[in-house]
Amino acid sequence: MGNILVLYDSKTGYTAKMARHVAEGACAVPGVALRLKSVDEAGRDDILWADGLAVGSPTNLGVMSWKMKRFWDDVSDGVWGKVDGKIACAFSSSGGWGGGSELTCMALLTVLMNFGFLVFGVTDYVGRQFTLHYGAVAAGEPRDAKEIAACRRLGKRLAQWVAGYIDGRREALPGPIDTRGE
């Protein structure tokens, strides 16, 4: 059984919607146990429980929200040094394209790397000229099919890596990468 935590912060609900789509994607892989929690609900035990983590934040001034940063500051005692080798990825909703959502993904990945997580991006195209190399991104609410597909693909890929590399189920690893888009 691979344990997946989808952890998010969200002020107006858009990153929360992305988180739900990421969770749907993860659940498409058999044998996943899933927790979907906001930074207000999650704690140290959730991080220790998870084999794989998808972390989402609204883009705030080009980086993660203060609540997401505070979450990691607060849990670092008791978590740091105990999660090395777990797998993690990022997602973000910003006000608009070019508003810094990929920078926010990178900021999230930086924090996760500091804890020793193995972080990844996704090379797949999930729509015309639409990919998630640094994590799933959306402008505002994830409405477009391709934005929703990016979230789902991120969650699915996380669950596939966890199943294949942590849970030892090699048959769950992804097949050929979709570089054409749907």
Distances (CA, A) of 109 to 1, 55, 103, 133, 180: 25, 9, 10, 12, 26
Stretch that binds ligand FMN, among 30-38, 87-95, 111-119, 166-174 (CB under 6 A): 87-95
Q: Which of residues 51-70 bind ligand FMN (CB under 6 A)?
A: 58-62
CB 113, CB 150: distance < 8 Å: no
Tokens coding 50:
């998870």
As a whole number of angstroms, the distance between CA 7 and CA 57 comes to: 9
Binding letters toward ligand FMN, positions 3-42, x by CB under 6 A: -------xxxxxx---------------------------
Is there binding between residue 96 and ligand FMN (CB under 6 A)? yes
Q: Is 99 in the site for ligand FMN (CB under 6 A)?
A: yes
Q: Encoding tokens for residue 176?
A: 């050929």
User: Which residues would be at the binding site for ligand FMN (CB under 6 A)?
Assistant: 10-15, 58-62, 93-96, 99-100, 140
